[in-house]
Structure 1
Amino acid sequence: MARTVTLSAAAVLALGGGAGWLVGSSALDAGTGTVVLAAGIAVTVWLVVMGSREAAARPMEHWRSRRLLRLAVIGLVVIVAGSAGLGFTPYGELAVPLGFGVVGALLLPASSLLGDRTYLVLGALLMLLAALGAFLALNSVGQLYPRGLVGLGAGVLLWAASAYRSGLVVQLSGARYR
């Protein structure tokens, strides 16, 4: 019997945040990067578990899932082709800001497709972060700004969106501290 795996939007955002954190931690020194990466893996796993609790609560229509898949494939093709193209130029350090800028740009049509405005804010913030990282990359030497700042910043933004989507923000704001 075949089983289908269903991921909630919060789990997908948490995995995206983990990927961003992985990219960002690779720009750090070996010792610091390992500790930062380990902390990021722990946060990602925790958010995926918390976000997967209500994965099958509301299944998506087939036409919406096809359009989302089409957006994901277009984004993947643009990121791979753009990164490969940038690798042949002296602007190869712009590959990471390009990738997260494309993800942010694709969240804008995904927002109307999913009927959730929070993806508009997330997409705009990711594009702003990518533009800042590209600007700093062109005015500095090394991978700290284009890979570190953009990767870690995108990871935090995607994790925050995951926490919001899974209801953790509401739970934490309603908690009473003594």
Structure 2
Amino acid sequence: ANSGLLDTGPIVGYGVWVRYVDDTFAVFDTKAISLNNFVAKLNNRFPTIKFTYETEHNEQLPFLDVLVIRNSENKKETATLRCIPNDSHRPFQHKMASFNFLIHRFLSFPLSKERFEHEKNQIKDIAKNNGYSVHLIDTLIRKHKFKRALFNSTTFVEILTIRRLFRYHLNLNSPAD
């Protein structure tokens, strides 16, 4: 499982680690660690497994049955800068739903600092254009980051469910002789 990579301490530089059976898709910062060093560390950490790699060509990399294409835009062409306006008579949770979605999505992608700021500014522009304060977006981003940090640092303990067995005895339901 993937947990072995993290259980023995982090390997600096990786941002995405996706595994399916015996194929692994990793994205990492080559400024923090070179590709050869990254693979060497993996092979040293797991001596019974031989890691090999493929690099992208023309910003494309085949993985399983999918061709992964590097693209700077993470939105559909039909995406708009509209959401429920602040002065609308809708429940507050409904108004925040689109911002929560956008923030969750952009925090889920491994983005460069420049791309991170670009995405954050786009969300702030959407907020301004629809009558919201940009401080609201900063607050929502902090909230999402806190929830993610809390989720990643909390050990979830399975709650023990007590089950009782009640036996059915046919003789107990019959009138006594």
TM-score above 0.5: no
Q: Normalising by the residue count of structure 1, what TM-score does the alignment of the two structures yield?
A: 0.26
Task: Compare CA radii of gyration and give the structure with the larger one.
Answer: 2
Indicate the structure with greater helix content: 1
Higher relative contact order (CA 8 A, sep 6+): 1
